[in-house]
Structure formats: C-alpha cells, structure tokens
Structure 1
Amino acid sequence: MTAAVITIVVVLAVIVLIALALSVRMVQQYERGIVFRFGRVLEAVRAPGLRLIVPVADRMAKVSMQTTVVGVPPQGAITRDNVTLTVDAVVYYRVVDPVKVLVNVLDYHAAVLQVAQTSMRSVIGRTDLDTLLSDRERVNTELKNVIDAPTEQPWGLLVERVEVKDVALPDAMKRSMSRQAEAERERRARVIAADAEYQASRRLADASKTMSQTPGAFQLRLLQTVVEVAAEKNSTLVMPFPVELLRFFDQIIQGGATIATAAGDGRGPRSGKDEPAGKVTQAPPAR
C-alpha cells in the first residue's frame, strides 16, 4: 500500500512539473507577450517577467519592441528632371501595437522593406536632382511620411527615421556636374577679382584727391617709390618721370613749330636766306 501511494505521488509530481513547464513563460524586458487561447487573441498583453499560461489551451507569441534597422537595396529611379540614378536608404522602425503586428500582417519585416522600396521610387520621381543632393533632410522627411502612412494604423508599426545613404549618378552626369562646378568657381573668382579692382581704383582715386591738396605729397610719394625700388639688389634704377613735365616740353615744342611755320608763310619774321615754299623749319627746343 505504501509503495502504491508513493507511486501515485511521484506520478502527480511529474504531472505537476510538466504542467508548470508547459505553463511558465519568460518575457524579456524588450518583448511583449501575446496569448492565443484556442486561436483567439486575449486582450491583455503580457508584460516582461515570469508569466503563466494555461497548458494546451494557450499559446504565447513574443514580439520585440526594439527599434529595427532595415537596409533598402539600391533602387533605380528617374528624377523629375529626367536624370537616371541609383539610391539606397536605411529605415528605422519599431512596433507600437504587438497585436496588430501579429494579426494584421504575415511578415512585417518583409512588408516594411517592400513598402520602403516602392515609396522611395515614388518620392525620387517627384524630386529634382538638385533637391536630392542639396536638401537631403526634406527628402528623408517625405520618405518617412510616405512609408509611415500605410504601416502605423493597420500594422501597428512606427517609422522613426529614414535616411538616404548614397546617390549613385552616371559617369556622364558626374562629368557635367564637375564642369558646372568649375565654371561656377571661375565665375566667382572673376567677380571677386573685378570687385577688388573696383575697390582698389576707388581707393587710388581717394588717395589722389588727398595728395592733390598738398603740393609736396607727389614728390614724397616719388621719393618713396625710388626708395622701394632701390631696396632691391638691382643693377638698374628706375626713376619715375612726372607726366606734367612731359606735357610742358610738348607744349614748348609745338609752340616753336608754330612760330617757324608762320615765318615761312611770310606772316612773321624771316631769316636772311629765302627758304623754299612749303618747307617748315622747327625751332630748337628751349633749354
């Protein structure tokens, strides 16, 4: 009798241990547990920790609540200005409703990837190449909104961020863009040089006006220029010559030629010998 009791106790203990093994579930901190009782979803979502379910009748599925990163393969697209390029991106999303994730979509990882691929082609087709290259943040925001629209409410997913990683352009387009950039740089350089010349001319004009008010300023500037030239180890010394002095000599020469011409025509004093008509004798310059 005692042996039979012991056997029954042992059998009951084994059954209890098996039942406990079938009913105990461990839910991690980053997970949520969804219990299906005879195929129907229970309303209560199991929080992290040690949880019990009814053996045989219940089945628990765990859903990770961590942010998932999905890399979108390179997609060929045509921009609004008819430029063919290849774009790849990264999508960051997480689960906000574990019940919808398990019930409404079969494989939400693959579903998000497919939605990201189609949405990226659509958004790139509505964007210019310049906008895609310069205003990348606006393109990322538009991609996030387009991908998040069909996934948040029906699937229980939240797209946190979308980043366009790389934009691959054809070689011909790269050469065209490089020539455009070079031309733009050259245009800026010419504008800057012209502006510098304009500012320098304005400064020189202001300086000449200031120096014209002092008679000795030009002479001091001349001597300063001579000192600067003589400071170099040159065998030739350049002496600036005032332009006003050249003009003075030219007026003297022209005045002497006018007097000689008048004398040859008989309208002025004549020399001892008669000179042939039409011959002009220039007077030597005054010394």
Structure 2
Amino acid sequence: MLGVVKTVLVADDERVLLFRDRQFERVLQPGRYRFLKPGSRFSFEVLKLNQVYLAHDQLELLLKKPEFARHVEVRRMQENEVGVVYVEGELHRVLEPGERLVTWKDVSNVDLRVFSLDKLAPIAEPLLSHLLRAGFERTARASRIVHAVVPDGQAGLLFENGRLVQTLAPGRYGYWAYNRDLQVQLYDLRLQMVDVAGQEILTRDRVSLRINLNAVYRLVDVEMVAARLKDAADFIYKRLQLALREVVGTRTLDELLADKNLVSEVIYNDSYETLKGYGIELDRVGVKDIILPGEMKEILNQVVQAQKAAEANLIKRREETAATRSLSNTAKMMEKNAVLMRLKELETLERVVERIDRISVYGGLDSVMNDLVRLTDDRPDRAS
C-alpha cells in the first residue's frame, strides 16, 4: 500500500501546484495530501508565499484556469498610471504603465499605490526621497523620474514635450517621466558679468584702438529669456560688442580720451532698453582698458610732455611777473617812506654780514650805521 501512495505536505508559507498528466488541476493549500498511484500521472510544484511577485513559466496559461485564478490577485497598470509597491511598509518596486502585478490573495503585506499620469504633478517629497535612495530613478533603458534641484538664487523652467508649463522656485522636484518628455532648465538670477575683451576698432579719425569692456547684468524675467533667446550670455555679448563698435567708430580719438566715461555711458543708455525687452536688466557698464598702438602711444606721450612743459613755462612766467610787480610796488613805497628805505638798508646789511667771516669797523657805531651801506646816492651832483 505504501508503494502506491504519495504523501504531500504543504507548509503554511507554501502553495503547491498539482498537475495531472502535465495539465494543471488545482492549488494545494497548507495541509497533508495523499495520492494513489502517482506514477508519472501526478507532478507537483512548490511556490513560496514570500515570493512577492508570483512568477511562473506558464503564468499566462495558469491565469486562464479558474481554479488557479481564484487564489491570486492580478493588478494591472493602465497606460496612464504608475504604481509603487510596498512590502511590509518598505518601498519594493515601481510598476510602469501597462505592467502587471500578480500576488497570492493570502499575502496581506503587499500594498500597491497607484498614481495617475494624466496631470503633471510633482512627486511628494517623502516618496521622492525613498525612490532616489532606493535607486528607482531610472531603468536600464530610460528614466522613470525627472529629478532636479533648483539652488538659491536661481529659477527653474519645466518643459513638457517642449512646452513651458511651470516656473520652479528654489527646492527639489521630481516628476514621473512616463508618456512625456520632461526637461528642467536652470537660470541664475544673481548678478553676472560678461567681458567683451580685445576689440580692435577704428575711430572716426582712423586710429586703431584695442578696448576691453565689461558689463554686469541680471535676469529678471526667465520666461521671456527662455522664449526669446537661445543663449542669453551670447546675446548680451554680441549686443555690447556692436554698441561698443558704434560708439568708438563715430568718435575721434580726442573725444574718447577727453571723457573716459563717455563710452560706458553711451553703451549703457543704448543697450538698457534693448536688453530689458528680453527680460534682462543691465546693471552697469565699464571700460577696463583703451590700448593705443605703439607709435601712437609715443606721439601722445610727446604731446603730453610738450603740454606739461608749456604749462610749467607759463607758471614760471607768471611767478616772475608777480615777483617783478611786487618789487616795483615795494620800490614805490620805499621812495615815499624814508623809514621803509632805512629798514631795507638794514635788511641788506644783514644779508651781507651773513656772508662775511670778519668785519673791521672804524669810526664807531655811527659810521657802521650810516656809511657801511647806503642805497641812495647823497653825494652832490658834479658839474658836467
């Protein structure tokens, strides 16, 4: 009897598929089963319940069998849906649109959360963190999630299928990438600088100059910038370059050198409104260098030296004229005032004495005071 009976034990965490003559017959629940004359007519296949996703080579055929289908639960994502599978509260899998999840009905620790793709909505921050941490951001073929971080001082533009749909403030964002093409472009809202360097330009009087210009700007309307410009920095560079050539080419060298701020002011005034129409605010413009050719530099140096020499001569002549005028006025005053004349005589005597080491005086103090220095000629006129 024992030779013709086969005993099958099914544990609580198992299900056994019974096949008769290689045809599925039923699912064996936990318990003890005996089969007579098993021979080659009966075959058994053990499946574990801890296998969250039911997989079998003949799963499609088995699902068509009512005896099998009543033991399992089939959940299929629509083309506009995506599912997130949790097992015992832990993120376990992402179901893509059209994908199917087959589980045993007796398994209660599997939770499926379904999200609609009809509306473009950001993934909630907790779920986004779990998806990124678990490595579900992309598959081997494509991205599941479009993930972007917008730093402080910047703005993000979200495009869906090439169309701008939203402006993103600083923060972290994630969107399901199924059934759509999503892109996030970042724009810096802080002050930025552009250099227009090494510009070789002819002035109106045919002098070649090399000018270096820089400008500071900020983006104030990123949606307008994105709609009207492919490359904002390149556009600003070329606009300033053209403005610089126009300013320098219509003025002489003397005009440019006479007012160093002329170029900056004209370029700023000409470019401000133009850039504003593209969502760009021009903060300031400055000329860093105006470089002259070598020969022209030498000529200008000679001109400057000549000008400075002329100015020095003029100042010297003015001082000499002032000194002569002062002497003339002093002489007139002394001529009318004997006391001033005597003081001048004593001043002259003091200067003379300073230059003499030794003086011999004869005739007393009166002789020194009266005869040593005499600025006027008191002798009687001789008859001619």
TM range (shorter): 0.7 to 0.9
Partner of 2:203: 79
**Shift in alpha-carbon separation, 1:82–1:24, aligned structure 2, 3 A:** closer
Using the TM superposition, give the Cα deviation of residue 47 of structure 1 relative to its aligned residue in structure 2, in angstroms. Answer: 0.9
Conservation of the 8 A alpha-carbon contact between 1:53 and 1:59: no
**Shift in alpha-carbon separation, 1:179–1:243, aligned structure 2, 3 A:** farther
**Shift in alpha-carbon separation, 1:3–1:151, aligned structure 2, 3 A:** farther
Q: Secondary structure at the match of 1:60?
A: strand
Using the TM superposition, give the Cα deviation of residue 167 of structure 1 relative to its aligned residue in structure 2, in angstroms. Answer: 0.9
Q: Secondary structure at the match of 1:14?
A: strand
- Distance, in Å, in 1 between the alignment partners of 2:137 and 2:294 is 67
Pairing 1:178–2:301 present: yes
Deviations 1:140-173 (A, max 9, x none): 12112333344331x3222222211111112222
Using the TM superposition, give the Cα deviation of residue 6 of structure 1 relative to its aligned residue in structure 2, in angstroms. Answer: 2.8
Please tell me the residue identity of whatever aligns with 1:7.
Answer: Y
Partner of 2:225: 101
Using the TM superposition, give the Cα deviation of residue 70 of structure 1 relative to its aligned residue in structure 2, in angstroms. Answer: 1.8
- Percent identity, aligned pairs only, is 24
- TM-score (normalizing by structure 1): 0.73
Matches within 5 A, 1:240-251: 242=375, 244-245=377-378, 248-249=380-381
Partner of 2:168: 46
Deviations 1:63-111 (A, max 9, x none): 1212222221211112233322111111222212212222322222222
Matches within 5 A, 1:192-203: 192-203=315-326
**Which shows bigger deviation, 44-53 or 8-17?**
8-17
**Shift in alpha-carbon separation, 1:216–1:64, aligned structure 2, 3 A:** closer
Deviations 1:189-243 (A, max 9, x none): 2222222223223322332232223334324422321221121246899x76646
Matches within 5 A, 1:198-209: 198-209=321-332
Aligned residues: 248
**Which shows bigger deviation, 211-220 or 82-91?**
211-220
Structure 2 spans left out of the alignment, 5+ residues: 1-14, 16-47, 55-84, 96-130, 139-143, 361-371
**Shift in alpha-carbon separation, 1:23–1:185, aligned structure 2, 3 A:** closer
Q: Secondary structure at the match of 1:182?
A: helix
- Distance, in Å, in 2 between the alignment partners of 1:54 and 1:97 is 27
- Distance, in Å, in 2 between the alignment partners of 1:171 and 1:233 is 58
Q: Secondary structure at the match of 1:71?
A: strand
- Distance, in Å, in 1 between the alignment partners of 2:339 and 2:275 is 86
Q: Secondary structure at the match of 2:93?
A: helix
Pairing 1:119–2:243 present: yes
2:288 to 165, 172, 181: 165
Partner of 2:215: 91
Higher relative CO (CA 8 A, sep ≥ 6), structure 1 or 2? Answer: 1
1:6 to 48, 52, 56: 52
Conservation of the 8 A alpha-carbon contact between 1:84 and 1:170: yes
Structure 1 spans left out of the alignment, 5+ residues: 255-287
Please tell me the residue identity of whatever aligns with 2:326.
Answer: R
**Shift in alpha-carbon separation, 1:244–1:25, aligned structure 2, 3 A:** same
Q: Secondary structure at the match of 1:70?
A: strand
Pairing 1:190–2:301 present: no
Identify, as 1 or 2, the structure richer in strand. Answer: 2
Larger radius of gyration: 2
